[in-house]
Structure 1
Amino acid sequence: MPQYPNRQFLDFEQPIKELYEHIEENKKLAEKNAKIDYKSIIQQLEDSIVEKRKEITEHLTPWQRVQLSRHPDRPYTLKYIEKMATNFVELHGDRNVKDDKAMVGGFADLDGQTVMFIGQQKGINTKTRQLRNFGMANPEGYRKALRLMKLAEKFNKPVVTLIDTPGAFPGLEAEERGQGEAIARNIYEMMRLKVPIICVIIGEGASGGALGIGVGDKVLMMENTWYTVISPESCSSILWRSWDKKEVAAEQLRLTAKDMHGFGLVDEIVPEPIGGAHWDYDEAAKILKSYILKSLEEVKLIPSDKKLNYRTEKFGRMGFWDEVAEETEDAEA
C-alpha cells in the first residue's frame, strides 16, 4: 500500500492530503526536538484522516465515484487475486493469435477450492499501462478468456471474473480480427457454461468490454465503481460536443452501484474500506472474498440441470419494454 508522499490524491481528496502534510510536518518537528511529545498530535491527525475519508465517501457524486474507480492507487485484478487466493497459476494465449496482456487468468486456490480467475488488468506505471493496453482487451483477450472458461468447465471448476476496463480496444486491427464477434461469442458461451460463474465489477465496467466477461449466475459490483454502455466523457462529447458536461452525463447515465442494483442489473453491492479500496488493499480483498465465497455457495445450491435456465431467465428479465398489439386487417382497412 503506497504511503504519503507517494500516494496520489483526487481533487476532492485534497483535505486528506493537507492532513497528511500536517503529519509529516509534526514528524519532522519530533525529530528535531525529542523533548516534546508529538505522538498525541499525530494520532489526532490520523483519526481526523479516517473521519475525513468517511465524510467524503458519504457525499460522493456519480462523477466522483467514476473518478474513484479510476484512482491510480486502486487495486487491480492481479492484486485482488494475490490478496484473496493462493497458488495462482497464470495461463497465457488464445491458441490462435497471441497472448493479450490486458486480459489475465488462471487457476488459484480460494479458501480450499480451485477457482478459475479471469479479469482485465491495468498497469501500475507508464510502462506496464502500455504493456496492458490500459486494460482494453483485443479479440484475442476475449478468446483467451473463453478458452480458460472452457478449461474450467472441463475440470468442473467455478469461474470468477473481475471486470475493470474502459472498454474493449477500438483500434482498426482489433476490428479486423473480429472484436464484436469475440465479445458476442463470449456472451453466448457464458450463458451456456455448465459451471458456476461469479462476475465482479471492481473498477470500470464499460460497454461490451465489460459484457465480454460479464455474464454469470451472480453479478456483484463494488461500491465505488461504474457500469454502463458508455463513459461519461464520451456521452458528453456525443450529446454536447464537449467533455465539459461529463458530470451531468454521469448523473444522467445512472451508472453507480446503487443505480445498477436498483435496476436489477447487479445482484449485490460489495462495500469498500472507508474512502475507497485504494486506502486498504487487504481489507478490500477480505470483503470481496467473503462476498465471492457466499455467492459461490448460493450458486452451488442451484441444480445443475436448472442452472442454464436460471441464468437465461435472469438476464432475460433485464430491461424495460412494451408490446404493441398487431393491427388486424379490418382495422387497417
Structure 2
Amino acid sequence: MGKNNEDPIEAGQTWKLDLFRPEDALGVTRLFRLVYGDGYPVKTFTDPELLIRENAARRTISNVARTAKGDIVGHSALYNSAPFPGLYESGSTVVAPNYRAGVMGFRLVQYSVRKVAPLFGIEIMFGEGVCNHVTMQKIGIKLNFLPCALEVDLMPAEAYTKEESAAGRVAAVLQFDIITPKPQTIRVPAAYTEMLRFIYGGIRHECRFVPSAEDLPDGPETRMESQIFDFAQVARFTVHEAGADFAAVFAQEENAARQKGTIVHQVFLKLSWPWVGQTVELLRNRGYFAGGVLPRWLDVDGFLMQKVFGPPHWDGIQVFGERSAHLLELVKDDWERSIHP
C-alpha cells in the first residue's frame, strides 16, 4: 500500500498498469486529493471503502499505475453512469503531478478501453473530455472515440481549484466508441436536421432516418428520472417515456430542481420516439438548446437538450479537432436562438 496522505509521492519510480486491488484504495483516494484537493465531486474516488465496494460490484472497473513500492501514481476507470447497462464511461483519469512528463495518461485510458473493456462484455463506451484543456479529448481521438455531443458548463471551476486550471464553469465533449452497433430507426426533429446529419455522418451505426412528425401520445404517461448533483449544481432529467402530459410533468420536475439551487439542466430524450420532435419543441420553448447525440444512451440513441441559467462560459471552452469545433458552433448557435427566440 502507498504511503500515508501527508507524504509526497516519490518521483522517478518505475510503474506498471494493472487492475485495481482492494489494497490500492487508499493510494487511489490519496491521488485524487493530491490533484483535486477536496473538490472532486464523485465520492467513489475519495472514499476508500466505497471504491472497494464499487469495484467488487463491477459498477466501477478501476485500473491503476502502481509502483514496486505500492504507490498509486495513476488511475483510470470504466463505470456505468448511463441508463443503458452496456454503456460504460471511461473517465476519472488522474496522474500524479510529478509523473506527467511521459505517456502515463494515454496508457491508462488505452489499458481501460482496449484491454479491460473486452474482459467485461462492454458494448459501448464514452468519455467526457473536459474543455479547460484538450488533453483528454486528444486521447479520446487517438483511441478512435468520436465526438457526438457537448455539455455546456458541466463542472464548476471549484473542482479545479487545486490546479488553478479553470476561470469559470467547464464544458465537456462527449466522445463515443461503439463496440457493438445497434440497428435502429432515428426520428429526426425538424429543428435539428442539420445537426443530426453532421453527427451521424461519422458514426459507425446502421440507422434509418425518418422525420419526427407525430404528436405526443395520450398514453403512456410521462415517466422521467431526476438526478441532482449538489456540488456541480447540475440537474439531469432522463425521460424514459413522454406522453401528452410531458409539459406539465417536466415543469414540475424543473421547478423542484431549481429550488435545490441547480443552475445547469440536462434532458435526455429517445430518438426512437415518433414524437421526439414535439418533445424537443416543448423544451426549446422553455429556453433549452441542443447538446448532441448520445449513441445507445438508453440502449436506443439519445438526444441531449440543456439549459444554463446565466451566461455560459463560452470563452473558456477549448476543443480539439475540426469535428468538435463544428459541434461547438452548432451548439452555440442554438443557444443564441434560445436567448433570442
Which TM-score applies when normalising by structure 2? 0.30
Give the structure with the higher percent helix.
Answer: 1
Higher Cα Rg: structure 1 or 2? 1
Which TM-score applies when normalising by structure 1? 0.31
Give the structure with the higher percent strand.
Answer: 2
